[in-house]
């Protein structure tokens, strides 16, 4: 029960960070960078199958919190998670140092894809979806910074939760 509450608290913290902090500081970003970074980080730390148990609730809660309905964003995040998992298994690159820039690129790719998907769902077509000419340079920079911060937080929280699981298993024996 304690692990469930800690996961719920972490999901809530990510939602509050995205909606109350990042959307206010960088309204031109147009994509939920904290949510996308968390999805990519969970896939790198946990693997695709275990990351789905955190990705789906996070993206569905974000959709419900932001618009009151479930949008295609959740499906797009599953595709980003699968792409990240596929690349991490095929490339066999360690999750340290310079290789994290490669995985940070998945956050930027997910952000640009989110902007395109939301504009297509809204009915805007053609090159009008690239309304972000002033933010096209800022999105990769902000995305990388947010990815590194969220990756560190996800890695630390999952290490703590694993330690709690081991302590609970040890107490049962």
Q: Is residue 18 situated within a structural domain? A: no
Q: Is residue 2 situated within a structural domain? A: no
Q: What is the pLDDT of residues 16-75, one digit of tens each?
A: 988 888 878 877 777 888 999 999 999 999 888 999 998 999 999 988 888 778 888 888
Closest CA to 63 of 104, 112, 121, 103: 121
Q: What is the pTM of this model?
A: 0.86
Closest CA to 17 of 5, 6, 28, 26: 26
Count of domains in the chain?
1
Q: Is residue 16 situated within a structural domain? A: no
Q: What is the pLDDT of residues 84-117, one digit of tens each?
A: 888 888 876 666 667 778 888 888 888 888 888 8
The domain of 51 spans: 31-172
Q: Is residue 98 situated within a structural domain? A: yes
């Amino acid at each position: 029960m304690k692990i469930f509450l800690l996961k719920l608290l972490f999901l809530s913290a990510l939602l509050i960070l995205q909606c109350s902090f990042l959307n206010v500081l960088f309204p031109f970003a147009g994509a939920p960078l904290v949510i996308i970074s968390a999805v990519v980080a969970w896939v790198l730390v946990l693997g695709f199958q275990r990351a789905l148990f955190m990705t789906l609730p996070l993206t569905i809660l974000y959709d419900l919190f932001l618009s009151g309905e479930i949008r295609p964003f959740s499906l797009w995040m599953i595709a980003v998670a699968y792409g990240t998992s596929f690349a991490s298994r095929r490339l066999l690159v360690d999750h340290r140092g310079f290789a994290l820039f490669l995985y940070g690129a998945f956050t930027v790719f997910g952000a640009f894809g989110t902007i395109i998907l939301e504009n297509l769902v809204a009915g805007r077509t053609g090159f009008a979806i690239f309304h972000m000419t002033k933010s096209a340079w800022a999105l990769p920079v902000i995305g990388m910074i947010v990815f590194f911060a969220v990756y560190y937080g996800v890695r630390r929280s999952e290490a703590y939760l694993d330690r709690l699981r081991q302590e609970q298993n040890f107490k049962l024996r």
